[in-house]
Structure 1
Amino acid sequence: MQTIKSFTPATTVVLQWLVWRKYFDWRIWASLVPIVGGILLTSITELSFNMFGFCAALFGCLATSTKTILAESLLHGYKFDSINTVYYMAPFATMILAVPALLLEGSGVVEWFHTSPSLISSLVLIFGSGVMAFCLNFSIFYVIHSTTAVTFNVAGNLKVAVAVTCSWLIFRNPISALNAVGCAVTLVGCTFYGYVRHMLSQQPPGTPRTPRTPRNRLELLPLVIDKLDDKV
């Protein structure tokens, strides 16, 4: 799963480039190589291929990229804030997940309620997980609002490398030399990406090589016609 998920920054860039016609400096593309490659090295020793799992992870990767791109469009193009974005996305997420949750986990939840020694503790666990989910989504949209969708996904890859490193430093979990090299490569790639983003942010507004975020409804549509885009 982590191997496929490591491609999320790359798929985010490719989708924005192909569908939203957003330009990225060549250094952004170059920085993705060590980021993705490092995570591949970190997780390849635990690779156990399964076609169904592979397809599910790949679909999740594409869905995550699309979600972050749309969130960036709302936050930057329509000037939403983090709370408003959660407010509008949460009902749709509930509708999408309600039916699978009832079919796959409904009986288990009912049995858990019946066997739990205290109903209040069960409700507290459910409510607490909801609060944590809200905080997670709020922080995700806050990061995307402050940066970009690509930066958020790069930070996600950095999280994997940091988690592996912390598991070795704190819990003394053994890691192979290949895992260590992968973490180091990922950290170098993330550092290079941060440097590139900083350099691009120093360019004057309107510089052709500055990555552009969709700023109106027309630019949210795929395959925007250049002439119409210029009129807007």
Structure 2
Amino acid sequence: MCHMAACSLFSYAAIAWLRLVPMQLPRSRLQLAKIAALSLVFCASVVSGNISPRYLPVSFNQAVGATTPFFTAVFAYLMTVKRESFLTYLALVPVVTGVIIASGGEPSFNLFGFIMCVGATAARALKTVLQGILMSSDGEKINSMNLLMYMAPIAVVLLVPATIFMEDNVVAITMELAKDLNIVWYLLVNSSLAYFVNLTNFLVTKHTSALTLQVLDNAKGAVAVVISILIFRNPVSVTRMLGYTLTVIGVLRGSLQ
């Protein structure tokens, strides 16, 4: 919620005050409905993604997240009939295979957590495809900064009730934490970085493709897996490491296509 609030403020400031790009008004109710759908899918990915680490190790979440290019390719084909090269699809095979193997070798496997993790991954892929459509469709094309400016406030409205409902006593806890100014600064910096992350994601999608964005994004997955294992000391079986290795190979091959 804080991330999207920052995106709303920074996007408006960049467009209305700094005039970095011209302001674009929604051209139709249909376009506004698509932006609202994008916000809803984004919120679903965030909520599911924040639930799954309660039940599954971070390293396993990262491994499942590496299948995002697979879901992106499927959604891109279903929604835009866009086909990638055969080699690109071939590179996704070890990614999915690796996750399946890692799932079987995960000692802390939890079905509900796995469903949430896969749901977050699929929603993340669908969001990437939807934002690509909004920024490239001939009749309703919108630039990345304006899209973020309209999407973020809708996401805030959706996330406020989710935050209050899912996080017990969240207002009192937040006020208590805010007494430590370091926490406030961490949150402000973190939320500011979220704006640039979302903006660059939109720009990469616009100038390349939804699948390229997800493959590049997953390049950090291998590092996250190793770091999470070192920090949280969660047990790693040989089968699971084999699955991670296949997943990383698929990500690297996909990055080269």
The residue aligned with 1:32 is 92
Amino acid at match of 1:58: V
> Which range is displaced more, 77-86 or 15-24?
77-86
Instruction: Give the 3 Å change call, closer, same or farther, for CA 70–162 of structure 1 in structure 2.
Output: same
Instruction: Give the 3 Å change call, closer, same or farther, for CA 186–4 of structure 1 in structure 2.
Output: closer
The residue aligned with 2:120 is 60
Task: Tell me if 1:94 matches 2:156.
Answer: yes
The residue aligned with 1:145 is 206
Task: Tell me if 1:134 matches 2:195.
Answer: yes
1:39–1:160: 8 Å Cα contact kept in structure 2? no
| CA shift for structure 1 position 129 | 3.0
Partner Cα separation in structure 1 for residue 162 and residue 115 of structure 2? 18
- The runs of at least 4 consecutive aligned structure 1 residues that moved more than 6 Å come to none
2:78 to 11, 14, 18: 18
Query: Mapping of 1:1-232 within 5 angstroms?
Result: 2=61, 3-41=63-101, 45-46=105-106, 48-77=108-137, 79-105=141-167, 107-113=169-175, 115-116=176-177, 118=179, 120-165=181-226, 177-178=238-239, 181-196=242-257
Instruction: Give the 3 Å change call, closer, same or farther, for CA 166–119 of structure 1 in structure 2.
Output: closer
Partner Cα separation in structure 2 for residue 56 and residue 177 of structure 1? 25
Give the paired residue count: 194
Partner Cα separation in structure 2 for residue 44 and residue 140 of structure 1? 32
- The gaps in structure 1 that reach 5 residues or longer are 197-232
Q: TM-score, normalised by structure 1?
A: 0.66
Provide the identity percentage. 28
Partner Cα separation in structure 2 for residue 74 and residue 52 of structure 1? 33
- Name the SS for the 1:19 alignment partner: helix
> Which range is displaced more, 63-72 or 102-111?
102-111
- The gaps in structure 2 that reach 5 residues or longer are 1-51, 53-60
Partner Cα separation in structure 1 for residue 70 and residue 191 of structure 2? 30
1:9–1:150: 8 Å Cα contact kept in structure 2? yes
2:163–2:170: 8 Å Cα contact kept in structure 1? no
| CA shift for structure 1 position 33 | 0.6
Partner Cα separation in structure 2 for residue 26 and residue 11 of structure 1? 16
Deviations 1:100-149 (CA, angstroms, capped at 9, x unpaired): 11223362331342x44836445434333321321221232232223211
Partner Cα separation in structure 2 for residue 175 and residue 118 of structure 1? 39
1:74–1:80: 8 Å Cα contact kept in structure 2? yes
Instruction: Give the 3 Å change call, closer, same or farther, for CA 39–142 of structure 1 in structure 2.
Output: farther
